[in-house]
Amino acid sequence: MKTVKFDGVLIELVTGDIIEQGDCDAIVNAANAELRIGGGVAGAIHRVGDPELTELTRPLAPIKPGEAVITAAPNLDNKYIIHCLGPVYGRDKPEKELLKNCYANALRIAEEEGIESIAFPSISTGAFGYPMKEAANIAFQTVKEMAPSLNVVSFVRFVLWSPADFNLHWDVLKEF
Ligand code: AR6
């Protein structure tokens, strides 16, 4: 585990599974546009939360790349799930801006909903093919830029799937 502070906001990197972050108010889903079960993160979250979760997401779908919506978190210890649709690398453009919007919109919703602690996966870096180093840079840059305006959110965890992903994220974060 590694931590840094951006203004008053504690940033933590861990290796792990997004569905095992029960100490965070909210987790973020790397969703599909239909807000249904999928592979990767969306598979893990919906396997735990369905069928209730899909009942909650159905009226909110479809969403566009960069958008985020919030639901309750059935069968999880978290209060909320914030569902973000990342860009498909090479297809949804401008991909950098769309990925940035995911993090910014998730943090904005968290502020509005009184969420103090939030856990993100590495959005778009699995099925959607975004190179992880670039994606990590955008994620940290966005949190850093927003940190001074965050009054409620005080803890942001990045949950990385493998030790290699963790090391890559730390290499990027320590340069900030
Ligand atoms: N916990 C944390 N990270 C995970 C987990 C997990 N349980 N499982 C995978 N990762 P992805 P995307 C990592 O594919 O690229 C789905 O099929 C993974 O190694 O979940 O935004 C949806 O239905 C990678 O680094 O999300 C969409 O169609 C990162 O999480 C599409 O994939 C994101 O991988 C979304 O693609």
In this predicted model, what pLDDT tens digit does every residue of 14-34 receive, in sequence order? 999 999 999 999 999 999 999
Has this prediction a pTM greater than 0.95?
A: yes
Distance CA 169, CA 16 (A): 13
Closest C-alpha among 75, 48, 47, 71 to residue 58: 71
Tell me the C-alpha to C-alpha distance, in Å, between residue 161 and each of 19, 33, 154. 11, 22, 23
125 lines ligand 1 (CB under 6 A): yes
Q: What is the pLDDT of the chain when averaged over all its residues?
A: 98
CATH number of 2-174: 3.40.220.10
Pocket of ligand 1 contains residue 87 by CB under 6 Å? no
Closest to 69 measured CA to CA, from 60, 78, 79: 60
Domain ranges of the chain: 2-174
- Residue of 21, 35, 41 with the most ligand 1 atoms within 8 Å of its CB, for mutation: 41
Q: What is the pLDDT of residue 24?
A: 99
Residue 142: predicted pLDDT: 98
* pLDDT mean over 143-159: 98
Measure 154 CA to ligand 1 centroid, in angstroms: 25
At 97, the amino acid letter reads E
Ligand 1 centroid to Cα of residue 129, in Å, is 10
Residue 1 has a CB neighbour count (10 Å cut-off) of 10
Model pLDDT, residue 5: 98
d(CA 53, CA 147): 30
Ligand 1 and 18: CB distance under 6 A: yes
